[in-house]
């Protein structure tokens, strides 16, 4: 794998996680069960 | 860092690329959820029949189910792109895990981790270099094995391969050694930890220091306990953050011998190799420390992190193909096993000493 794709992979994971944080914070995902 | 299998940069439209991922992701969800159900069913059965059954964590079930599928019926091609996303779920899970850490804890544990990681790096590189010379391995192969065993497994090897211009065969050899030992460590480390009655923090530190791939380190920690899993991820992330510096040192060494290209900007090189999810983890941890989340929201983020790890653990099982490892021959196992055994013992002593000093 190239370094380029590794970096974009890292950033996609960060973006997705932060999007989830925003959704939880905004109350759009109010209660995630386990 | 875990084995970072990329989603190949194919010239496909985004909807088509997402569609390609669906079967594999569905398989990760199915196996992960089956693991969670198996844990519940076993616990409920034990309670209903008043039996003292062993508490087998969902993590272990998910990995075992993945291993069974990969090594019996095999994984059809249609599932492979989606299964490769296990690395994405791992990194997203680590970022979300930040909600379960206050920055004070990160700094305290991070300081201890950083100290131990520094010692572990020097010891692991020295051990691998000596063993490489004993077995008369090619010098660049020894460099790859040293980088893989000291920092973060497969993706460190891949990052270093380009930087030091090593052969494909050397990289394949080094990756086989790291993967085989990762699979072994998954089951061996938690058993040793329980045998030695290690605390959650001590075991998490040890798993984070000694297990080479991030997914396996997280899994080994979580098999021991939930709290140990958190510490293992933090320690392993500290180790991952060192990747740029170690690969840079090797790139400069080989360039000075005229056997690799020159590094133009050292700062840009380190930044390029730096695992960005560590920044995401620190950012979410800072938000949690600043009181940005209510208790219910913290619980939701923690649960989201668990779901992401569940998919990762199913992927760890699915990507471990014992037939492929067998095809690589015995030498990677012997060289890797000797080095890893030494690193395991050294890191265990380090952690036990640190536990006594820092009262972990």
Closest alpha carbon to B274 in B237, B306, B225, B220? B237
For residue B179 the two structure tokens come to 């993967």
- What is the band of B30 on the pLDDT scale with cuts at 50, 70, 90? very high
pTM of the entire structure?
Answer: 0.77
**Phi, psi at B353, each rounded to 5°:** -65, -45
What one-character DSSP code corresponds to residue B263? P
Residues of A in contact with B280 (CB under 8 A): 13-14, 17-18
How far is the C-alpha of B14 from the C-alpha of B2, rounded, in Å? 25
User: Å from B159 to nearest chain A CA?
Assistant: 6
Q: Residue B154 in contact with residue B213, Cβ under 8 Å?
A: yes
Of residues B97 and A18, more confidently modeled: A18
Q: What is the pLDDT of residue A2?
A: 41
| B75 burial level (CB within 10 Å; 0-12, 13-18, 19+) | middle
Instruction: Give the pLDDT mean for A20-31.
Output: 91
How far is the C-alpha of B6 from the C-alpha of B60, rounded, in Å? 25
Q: Which string of DSSP letters, residue by residue, matches B20-80?
A: HHHHHHHHHHHHHHHHHHHHHHHHHHHHHTT-------HHHHHHHHHHHHHHTT---GGGH
Instruction: Give the pLDDT mean for A5-34.
Output: 86
How far is the C-alpha of B80 from the C-alpha of B82, rounded, in Å? 5
- What is the band of A1 on the pLDDT scale with cuts at 50, 70, 90? very low
Please tell me which of the candidates A9, A17, A32 has its beta carbon nearest to residue B300. A32
The per-residue pLDDT for range B244-264, each reduced to its tens digit, is 778 888 888 888 877 777 777
How far is the C-alpha of B280 from the C-alpha of B94, rounded, in Å? 8
Q: What is the pLDDT of residue B278?
A: 86
Residues of A in contact with B159 (CB under 8 A): 3, 6
Neighbours of B188 (CB within 10 A): 14
Nearest chain B residue (CA) to A4: B272
Q: Do B91 and A21 touch (CB under 8 A)?
A: no
How far is the C-alpha of B35 from the C-alpha of B198, rounded, in Å? 25
pLDDT of B337 over the 60 cut: yes
3-state secondary structure of B139: helix
Confirm whether the ipTM is greater than 0.95: no
Q: What is the pLDDT of residue B76?
A: 93
Instruction: Give the pLDDT mean for B74-98.
Output: 91
**Phi, psi at B217, each rounded to 5°:** -65, -45
**What is the rounded average pLDDT for all residues in chain B?**
83
Instruction: Give the pLDDT mean for B106-115.
Output: 80
Closest alpha carbon to B306 in B201, B226, B189? B226
Question: Which of B40, B241, B270, B277 to mutate to test binding with chain A, by most A CBs within 10 Å of its CB?
Answer: B277
**What is the rounded average pLDDT for all residues in chain A?**
81
Q: Do B301 and A20 touch (CB under 8 A)?
A: yes
How far is the C-alpha of B30 from the C-alpha of B67, rounded, in Å? 14
pLDDT of B105 over the 80 cut: no
pLDDT of B6 over the 60 cut: no
Q: What is the pLDDT of residue A3?
A: 45
For residue B138 the two structure tokens come to 């090619």
């Amino acid at each position: 794998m190239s370094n380029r794709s590794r970096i974009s992979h890292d950033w996609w994971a960060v973006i997705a996680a932060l999007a989830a944080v925003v959704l939880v914070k905004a109350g759009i995902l109010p209660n995630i069960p386990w | 860092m875990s084995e970072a299998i990329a989603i190949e940069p194919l010239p496909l439209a985004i909807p088509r690329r997402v569609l390609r991922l669906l079967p594999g992701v569905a398989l990760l969800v199915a196996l992960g959820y089956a693991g969670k159900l198996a844990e519940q069913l076993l616990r409920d059965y034990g309670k209903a029949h008043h039996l003292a059954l062993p508490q087998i964590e969902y993590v272990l079930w998910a990995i075992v189910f993945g291993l069974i599928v990969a090594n019996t019926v095999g994984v059809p091609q249609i599932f492979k792109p989606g299964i490769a996303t296990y690395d994405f779920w791992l990194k997203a899970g680590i970022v979300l895990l930040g909600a379960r850490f206050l920055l004070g804890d990160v700094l305290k544990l991070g300081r201890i981790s950083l100290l131990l990681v520094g010692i572990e790096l020097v010891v692991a590189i020295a051990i691998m270099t000596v063993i490489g010379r004993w077995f008369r391995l090619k010098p660049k192969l020894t460099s790859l094995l040293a980088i893989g065993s000291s920092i973060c497994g497969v993706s460190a090897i891949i990052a270093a391969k380009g930087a030091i211009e090593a052969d494909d065969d050397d990289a394949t050899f080094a990756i086989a050694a790291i993967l085989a030992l990762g699979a072994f460590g998954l089951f061996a480390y938690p058993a040793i930890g329980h045998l030695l009655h290690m605390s959650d923090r001590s075991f998490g530190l040890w798993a984070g220091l000694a297990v080479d791939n991030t997914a396996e380190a997280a899994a080994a920690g979580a098999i021991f306990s939930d709290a140990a899993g958190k510490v293992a991820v933090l320690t392993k992330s500290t180790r991952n953050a060192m990747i740029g510096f170690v690969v840079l040192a090797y790139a400069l060494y080989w360039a000075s011998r005229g056997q690799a290209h020159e590094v133009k900007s050292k700062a840009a090189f380190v930044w390029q190799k730096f695992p960005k999810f560590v920044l995401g983890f620190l950012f979410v941890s800072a938000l949690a420390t600043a009181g940005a989340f209510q208790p219910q929201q913290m619980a939701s983020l923690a649960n989201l992190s668990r779901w992401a790890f569940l998919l990762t653990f199913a992927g760890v099982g699915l990507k471990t193909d014992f037939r492929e490892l067998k095809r690589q021959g015995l030498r990677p196992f012997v060289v890797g096993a000797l080095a890893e055994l030494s690193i395991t013992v050294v890191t265990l002593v380090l952690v036990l000493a640190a536990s006594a000093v820092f009262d972990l």
